[in-house]
């Protein structure tokens, strides 16, 4: 019987208290990795860690505001002290403040850019020295199909498109150290948060599903499966790539 494909690896997943981040942390644990779940939502994070208690000491959590460099550096220091390495970074943490162009407030712009762009950059900046020294690593940046354009998402789509450019540049800079960097763009994913806004049987959800070529919503596990693949040796020759996981919506109606 073969070992899990991420046996012995150490991963950090931001925004891991719920949704895609939570599903990703669970999948990485299933594949043998030790995982540090990071989120600013301490109560939700504690609940998720209780759910993952069967993985024992391989699952740990840290409450971190990724927009603050000192907290991100401490996160990395604590991870290294506990596990000795960092092999995978999943930049999943992000926020969205939907609004039509005329209603976008400067404070909303600043907040979304701070988390989605600056936060991601700070996390990569913090783990890069360790990955370079190890001469291995996988970084997965979570973008969005909204990077192609979506109404009332001017700020959000700008940050997710910005992440795409950051990903390609990082891939070039880190390739000499055998570190891969990829961007994935989820479409409509049925997370807990999505369902609170758009219940399964709502007209909004039905209209959305009808526009998806595969005629179903994505599951957090669908995204987690792709992330786990990109984090594995099986994807060691894939870097700087843009992968949409949206049921075909990126090639259908926008």
Alpha-carbon torsion (29, 35, 39, 42), positive or negative: positive
pLDDT value of residue 205: 87
Return the minimum-mean-pLDDT range out of 17-26, 132-141, 149-158, 167-176: 149-158
Residue 33 lies in a domain: yes
Number of domains in the chain: 1
Evaluate whether 40 touches 15 at the Cβ level (below 8 Å): no
Model pTM?
A: 0.95
CATH number for position 67 = 3.40.50.720
Q: Is the pLDDT of residue 17 over 80?
A: yes
Which residue in this structure is represented by tokens 């890069």? 128
Residue 2 lies in a domain: no
Q: Which residues of 17-151 form beta strands (DSSP E)?
A: 34-39, 59-63, 88-91, 137-142
Return the minimum-mean-pLDDT range out of 26-30, 109-113, 181-185, 196-200: 196-200
Name the residue range of residue 152's domain. 10-243
Residue 56 lies in a domain: yes
Residue 4 lies in a domain: no
Tens of pLDDT, residues 45-101: 999 999 999 999 999 999 999 999 999 999 999 999 999 999 999 999 999 888 888
Residue 250 lies in a domain: no
Residue 248 lies in a domain: no
The model's confidence at residue 254, banded by pLDDT at 50, 70 and 90, is: very low
Residue 137 lies in a domain: yes
Active site residues: 156
Residue 125 lies in a domain: yes
Tens of pLDDT, residues 192-241: 877 776 777 888 889 889 999 999 999 999 999 999 999 999 999 999 99
């Amino acid at each position: 019987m073969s070992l899990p494909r991420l046996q012995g690896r150490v991963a950090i997943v931001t925004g891991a208290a719920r949704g895609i981040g939570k599903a990703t942390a669970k999948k990485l644990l299933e594949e043998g990795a030790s995982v540090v779940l990071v989120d600013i939502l301490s109560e939700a994070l504690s609940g998720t860690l209780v759910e993952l208690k069967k993985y024992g000491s391989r699952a740990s959590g840290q409450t971190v505001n990724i927009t603050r460099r000192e907290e991100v550096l401490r996160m990395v220091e604590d991870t290294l002290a506990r596990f000795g390495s960092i092999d995978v970074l999943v930049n999943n943490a992000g926020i969205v403040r939907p609004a039509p162009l005329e209603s976008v407030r400067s404070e909303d712009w600043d907040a979304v850019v701070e988390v989605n762009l600056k936060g991601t950059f700070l996390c990569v900046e913090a783990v890069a020295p360790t990955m370079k020294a190890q001469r291995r690593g996988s970084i997965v940046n979570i973008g969005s199909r909204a990077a192609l354009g979506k109404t009332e998402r001017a700020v959000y789509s700008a940050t997710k498109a910005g992440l795409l450019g950051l990903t390609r540049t990082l891939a070039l800079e880190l390739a000499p150290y055998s570190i891969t960097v990829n961007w994935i763009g989820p479409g409509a994913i049925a997370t807990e948060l999505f369902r609170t806004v758009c219940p399964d049987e709502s007209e909004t959800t039905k209209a959305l599903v009808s526009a998806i070529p595969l005629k179903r919503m994505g599951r957090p596990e669908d995204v987690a499966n792709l992330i786990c693949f990109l984090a594995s040796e099986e994807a060691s020759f894939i870097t700087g790539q843009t992968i949409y996981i949206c049921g075909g919506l990126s090639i259908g109606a926008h």
